[in-house]
A = this chain, B = another copy of it.
């Protein structure tokens, strides 16, 4: 039974706290948030205490932290937690700066604490099953990976300003997905993008529609496409072509109801957004972390995965600026 301190009581923080609380291997002891009322509300709901960062970090009964606060605080909190010897569950991205990510990784490594970076999609039942079947050799050697990832709609302008750009904020999940499925590190990244959804995105110097192609050392190919707007809902699909076949994972739907009418046959559009689509994934991710920490094992998706996804995002930014593929060592 690990005691947790959680930083961040916002939307995603509430998800993690709930999953923590329902898990018999864990107990939520502290909630810390810049908004003390939010911290109190969440703490109360799960029998925890709202407190400040110092108290939470110093308490030796706290074995693990959940970092679900704003992105710019992730690295600091992770370093502090590492120094305090606590296991770390950190929302992605670790940081928008590679230098700070590396500092964080160093602290974690020196402290020898387990760290999970919140690439929740790896825990989606469909994606997880696909990955396992890939590993089991069901389609032979991987040749091509296609990742489709589109949000239902644009985030607020304020969010866009501090998001770090589409590649670091949105595509980063897909970079992780592609790495995970390719089974080899990409050594070449080409990316391009446009503003097609909303001209306000241009005002903040960002894109809302991007396409990426990557190549691994062994010649495996990956494609990612992203859009900030799919009016039909959260579009999250993966496809892997191998020497012996293809594995695909489609979107999930609220119900299996279909209507055959005089005009067409209609069925449900995909689940609305990440809270709906990845509800099971968030629970499984937290369960995995708790299990790993309790067993003294490394979580399956760690700090280095967080770093590598950022490396690919940086390469994509550079590729889009130069119009050439960026080589990675």
Contacts and interface: CB of A to CB of B under 8 A. Distances in A.
Classify chain A: how many residues form its interface, as a range. 35 or more
Say how many copies of this protein the assembly contains: 4
A259 B230 contact: no
A31 B252 CA distance: 37
A42 B138 CA distance: 42
Given A209-B143, A246-B232, A264-B266, A133 B192 contact: no
B190 A241 contact: no
A256 B250 contact: yes
A223 B239 CA distance: 14
A254 B327 CA distance: 40
A325 interface: yes
Contacts of A270: 260
20 contacts: A129-B255, A143-B196, A192-B221, A196-B220, A196-B243, A212-B213, A213-B223, A223-B225, A231-B245, A232-B261, A244-B261, A246-B259, A247-B257, A247-B259, A248-B260, A249-B255, A252-B256, A263-B266, A264-B268, A323-B327
Given A266-B267, A323-B327, 7 more contacts: A143-B197, A143-B227, A211-B221, A230-B246, A250-B258, A252-B256, A265-B267
Interface of A: 125-126, 129-130, 133, 138-139, 141, 143-144, 146, 148, 150, 188, 190, 192-197, 209-213, 215, 219-223, 225, 227, 229-233, 235, 241, 243-252, 254-270, 322-325, 327
